[in-house]
Amino acid sequence: FFSLLLFMLSHSWLRRWSRFRTCRAFLRALTTESEALHSKVVADVGAKAWNLHFKEGQVFTDDLAFANGVEDGATPLFRILDIEGNVVNPACMPDLSRDQCRKLMEGMVRSNMMDIVLYDAQRQGRVSFHLTQFGEEGVITGTAAALNFTDMVYAQYREAGVLLYRDYPIKDMLAQCMGTVKDKGKARQMPIHYGSPEYHFQTVSSPLATQLPQAAGAGYAFRLEGQDRIVCCFFGEGAASEGDTHAGMNFASTLGCQTLFVCRNNGFAISTPATEQYKGDGIYGRGLGYGMRCLRVDGNDIMACYVAVQKARALILQHKAPVLIEAMTYRGGHHSTSDDSTRYRSKGEMDFWLQNLSPIRRFAKFCERNGYWDKEDSERCRQETRAQIITALEDAEAQPKWPVDSLFDDVYEQMPYHLQKQKAELLEHTKHFGSEYPSLGPSAEQ
């Protein structure tokens, strides 16, 4: 036993043990070194091949943890005013004069009044279609106010307030809705599909989200031209499900476009609630994935919308990169005059939003408290707008429609021979059968 003990404590065993320990330490050192090298190589590949920059963070993780955009909780809404119009965020309060605040109020009230009158006009059969902005006046007018007049707007269709804020003539809007000869769009599109180069407002088209990649292209052109202008592109949370939204935001981000994406998340796409539209952290969460600066804002707080867009505009021009703003609102009206939204949501729910969370009411309280605006101003603004729209409506009803031969113009820049032939055929046909077609008004019938 003693001899065995002696043997075990003998020099050779100790040496072996110590060599073993050295070897382990060496191996550990070796492993650490190669791991560091490995991490560095992967980080380099990450930057070059994958366009991923790990920065200070770790390159690898030992946690088998799947991320979840729902359980982590939603990103909060940026706001300045509370629902009673009190400034709860004075640090971000913009330095707006009395007149500027009045202009914001007027913008929202006029937009609201126009919707009321045109909605009724549609119900009376005087215009064929209308789409209101009830509940979303804050984000629309606030964005319009923070943009420069020459910033190009790509709208979806629920943004007529931008044109009103830019003092687009109401008679021109009515000419479009009624399809008269005064409509510069030549009465080819449905009502509310406005457009005007002078007011830097691209003509609205019905297919949803097609404007997003276009806005990216326009923003790219602005960057190459070195312009101090941005493109502002509106869309709803429903349109955000279209492939074009993905393409537009990804292109804008990778190609460096001077484009601002403003998503009006109003909870509904016609009857489809947002719960059936997406699962993650709204549209905001996607913007992050595209590598854009993103902000979620209280869309019923016009101050917050104004400040957000103003800041976004500066960031876009500074970094030559797009920005996404998700404005949380609530669609206060039906989707359109062809929709009765009480079939899929309660009237009480709509009324609650409109009465308690209305962007107009909230900002009016703020303005009244500061002596910028009072109830009489609201009433006067409403009556004036109403009178202007009724006059424009009556004028438009007295106007002739575009003559029938204009149907063939603008398909191409110049009319190709086959369209010339078809136009001649139609004009010849109406010579004989003209009485069987509707009248287009006095000047059109020659």
C-alpha angle 238-243-245 in degrees, rounded to nearest 5? 65
Report in angstroms the alpha-carbon separations of 131 from 127, 143, 427: 11, 19, 35
Strand order in the sheet with 231-236: 152-154, 231-236, 259-265, 323-328, 293-298
If one asks whether residue 226 binds other proteins (CB under 8 A), the answer comes out as: no
Closest CB to other proteins among residues 92, 415: 415
Closest CB to other proteins among residues 231, 292: 231
Binding mask 377-416 for other proteins (x = CB under 8 A): --------------------------------xxxxxxxx
Q: How far apart are CA 370 and CA 105, in angstroms?
A: 13
Q: How far apart are CA 360 and CA 365, in angstroms?
A: 9
Q: How far apart are CA 358 and CA 133, in angstroms?
A: 12
Short-list 329, 334, 328, 358, CA closest to 347: 334
CB of 44 to other proteins, least distance (A): 16
Q: Which two tokens stand for residue 161?
A: 């307030």
3-state SS, residue 264? strand
CB of 197 to other proteins, least distance (A): 5
CB of 148 to other proteins, least distance (A): 16
Number of residues that bind other proteins (CB under 8 A): 53
CB 241 within 8 Å of CB 278 = yes
Strands 268-269 and 259-265 come out as: unpaired
Q: How far apart are CA 418 and CA 156, in angstroms?
A: 34
Q: Considering only residues 141, 180, 202, 388, which one is a binding residue for other proteins as defined by CB under 8 A?
A: 202
Closest CB to other proteins among residues 85, 248: 248
If one asks whether residue 286 binds other proteins (CB under 8 A), the answer comes out as: no
CB of 426 to other proteins, least distance (A): 15
If one asks whether residue 218 binds other proteins (CB under 8 A), the answer comes out as: yes
Short-list 105, 107, 113, CA closest to 132: 113
CB of 256 to other proteins, least distance (A): 9
Which residues does residue 268 pair with via DSSP β-bridges, in sequence order?
273
If one asks whether residue 365 binds other proteins (CB under 8 A), the answer comes out as: no
Q: Considering only residues 191, 219, 238, 359, which one is a binding residue for other proteins as defined by CB under 8 A?
A: 219
Closest CB to other proteins among residues 141, 250: 250
Place of tokens 């090298």: 37
CB of 196 to other proteins, least distance (A): 7
CB of 433 to other proteins, least distance (A): 21
CB of 99 to other proteins, least distance (A): 32
CB 286 within 8 Å of CB 292 = no
Name 347's Cβ contacts closer than 8 Å, sequence gap at least 6. Answer: none
Closest CB to other proteins among residues 59, 221: 221
If one asks whether residue 182 binds other proteins (CB under 8 A), the answer comes out as: no
If one asks whether residue 171 binds other proteins (CB under 8 A), the answer comes out as: no
Closest CB to other proteins among residues 169, 195: 195
Residues found near other proteins in the complex (CB under 8 A): 49, 152, 183-189, 193, 195-197, 202-203, 205, 207, 210, 212-222, 224-225, 231, 243-244, 246-248, 250-251, 254-255, 409-420
